[in-house]
């Protein structure tokens, strides 16, 4: 028999990609989740998850579709729980994917403001890279995606939140640290440190290539803070979009940010969703709130 409890267990296992971690998050026993999933697989006569020894679980194509529908049903159930108590109340859960470099700059403040406005909605988010986010959105593992605009598939709808221009990141002792602006032609002769993500690296290199410039990529870094640390310690310079409030790396080494003279602020931060799946009322509320929240920030900074 299909129950909301079994669907909650199913979605938790999918979100954590592990029955063990889902059980810990829900504070229940692992056998309880395993039994619920086994019963669902028996009821549907379909395999929902592929079990990987020592590496958790991943959904089958049927499982992905079932999990998307289960999320919607659980959101509607949350709304029904509040029906008649508070008129117009939005309830449920929003699953958000965010590019890892953007997450620390926006998500804590954005999600706090949203949850203060919509206390019956829970926002779950996962941080990952450019290449992973469109896949998660396309298969319905997340409702919405906060990302840079770098080559998204056509089936993904999107709305612009703000525009950014890349800037040059230099060690504080660099000979150009006091410059008000720098050109790409001048930068092309410096050793360049870029993020290892292929989409991000391709975009930034294309800024040079379109001008017939071919800089040397001296190193790549898996994380934004490692990249900042390499620059701060003199391994090279970098072009980046995110601008932390702090002008020092994790190890305390100082950094300097300099605008690029010949690049316009045309790089978009966007919120995206898949045309394949209708957004729940909770996800629609998050989408509308996020557009307004970024608009207020841009208005304050202008």
Output the pLDDT for position 281.
86
Output the pLDDT for position 85.
54
Output the pLDDT for position 266.
67
- Which residue, 121, 148, 128, is CA-closest to 287? 121
Output the pLDDT for position 267.
77
Q: What is the mean pLDDT of residues 150-154?
A: 74
Residue 302 has pLDDT above 60, yes or no: no
Q: What is the mean pLDDT of residues 35-44?
A: 88
* Percentage of the chain lying above the pLDDT 70 cut: 94
Query: Domain 166-259 is of which CATH architecture?
Result: 3-Layer(aba) Sandwich (3.40)
113-117, 127-131, 144-148: which has the minimum mean pLDDT?
127-131
- Which residue, 199, 172, 204, is CA-closest to 188? 204
Please say whether the beta carbons of 155 and 272 come within 8 A.
Answer: no
Residue 73 has pLDDT above 70, yes or no: yes
Cα within 13 Å of Cα(39), Cβ side: 14
Output the pLDDT for position 271.
95
**If one looks up domain 90-163+266-302 in CATH, what number appears?**
3.40.190.10
Residue 99 has pLDDT above 80, yes or no: yes
Residue 1 has pLDDT above 90, yes or no: no
**Paired tokens of 73:** 């049903």
pLDDT in tens, 15-30: 888 998 888 888 898 8
CA distance linking residue 115 with residue 118, whole number of Å: 5
Query: Domain 1-85 is of which CATH architecture?
Result: Orthogonal Bundle (1.10)
The confidence band for 153, taking pLDDT boundaries of 50, 70 and 90, is confident
Output the pLDDT for position 165.
83
In sequence order, which ranges of 170-280 are alpha helices (DSSP H)? Answer: 184-187, 198-209, 224-232
pLDDT in tens, 249-276: 999 999 999 999 988 766 789 999 988 8
CA distance linking residue 285 with residue 138, whole number of Å: 20
Residue 301 has pLDDT above 50, yes or no: no
39-53, 176-190, 282-296: which has the minimum mean pLDDT?
39-53
């Amino acid at each position: 028999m299909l129950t909301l409890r079994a669907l909650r267990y199913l979605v938790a296992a999918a979100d954590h990609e592990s029955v063990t971690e889902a059980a810990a998050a829900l504070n229940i026993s692992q056998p309880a989740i395993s039994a619920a999933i086994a019963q669902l697989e028996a009821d549907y006569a379909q395999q929902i998850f592929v079990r990987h020894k020592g590496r958790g679980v991943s959904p089958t194509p049927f499982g992905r579709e079932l999990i998307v529908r289960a999320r919607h049903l659980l959101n509607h159930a949350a709304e029904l729980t509040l029906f008649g108590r508070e008129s117009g109340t939005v309830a449920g859960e929003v699953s958000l994917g965010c590019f890892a470099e953007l997450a620390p700059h926006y998500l804590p403040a954005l999600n706090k403001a949203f949850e203060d406005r919509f206390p019956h909605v829970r926002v779950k988010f996962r941080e990952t890279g450019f290449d992973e986010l469109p896949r998660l959105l396309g298969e319905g593992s997340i409702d919405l995606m906060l990302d840079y605009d770098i080559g998204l598939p056509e089936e993904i709808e999107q709305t612009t939140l703000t525009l950014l221009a890349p800037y040059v990141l230099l060690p504080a002792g660099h000979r150009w640290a006091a410059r008000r602006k720098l050109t790409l032609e001048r930068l092309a002769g410096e050793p360049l440190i870029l993020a290892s993500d292929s989409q991000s690296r391709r975009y930034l290199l294309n800024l040079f290539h379109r001008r017939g410039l071919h800089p040397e990529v001296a190193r790549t870094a898996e994380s934004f803070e490692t990249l900042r640390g390499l620059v701060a310690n003199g391994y090279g310079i970098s072009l980046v979009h995110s601008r932390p409030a702090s002008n020092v790396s994790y190890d305390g080494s100082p950094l300097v940010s300099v605008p690029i003279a010949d690049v316009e602020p045309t790089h978009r931060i966007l919120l995206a969703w898949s045309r394949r799946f209708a957004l729940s009322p909770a996800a629609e509320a998050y989408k509308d709130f996020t557009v307004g929240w970024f608009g207020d920030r841009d208005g304050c900074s202008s």
